[in-house]
């Protein structure tokens, strides 16, 4: 029975790590999108 408890905790920890990594990637992607939009606006302003 104790082996199943450790297995449960192991899977839970693994999924939490995966979830945290995915959330980190989403936040980085959003930051990159904002920066790209800002740079596009700067380029458009310079072309005018």
Q: Where are the beta strands (DSSP E) in 1-48?
A: none
* Ranges of each domain in the chain: 13-48
User: What's the confidence (pLDDT) of residue 2?
Assistant: 75
- Using CA atoms of 13, 19, 25, 28 in order, give the dihedral in degrees to the nearest 10: -100
User: The pTM is what?
Assistant: 0.73
- Rounded mean pLDDT, 8-32: 98
User: What's the confidence (pLDDT) of residue 16?
Assistant: 98
For the chain, give the mean pLDDT.
94
Residues of 5-27 as b/e, b for ≥16 C-beta within 10 angstroms?
A: eeeeeeeeeeeeeeeeeeeeeee
User: What's the confidence (pLDDT) of residue 19?
Assistant: 98
Q: Which of 29, 26, 8, 30 is nearest to 18 (CA)?
A: 26
């Amino acid at each position: 029975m104790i082996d199943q408890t450790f297995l449960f905790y192991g899977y839970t920890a693994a999924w939490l790590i995966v979830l945290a990594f995915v959330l980190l990637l989403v936040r980085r992607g959003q930051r990159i999108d904002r920066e790209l939009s800002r740079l596009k606006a700067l380029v458009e302003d310079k072309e005018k």
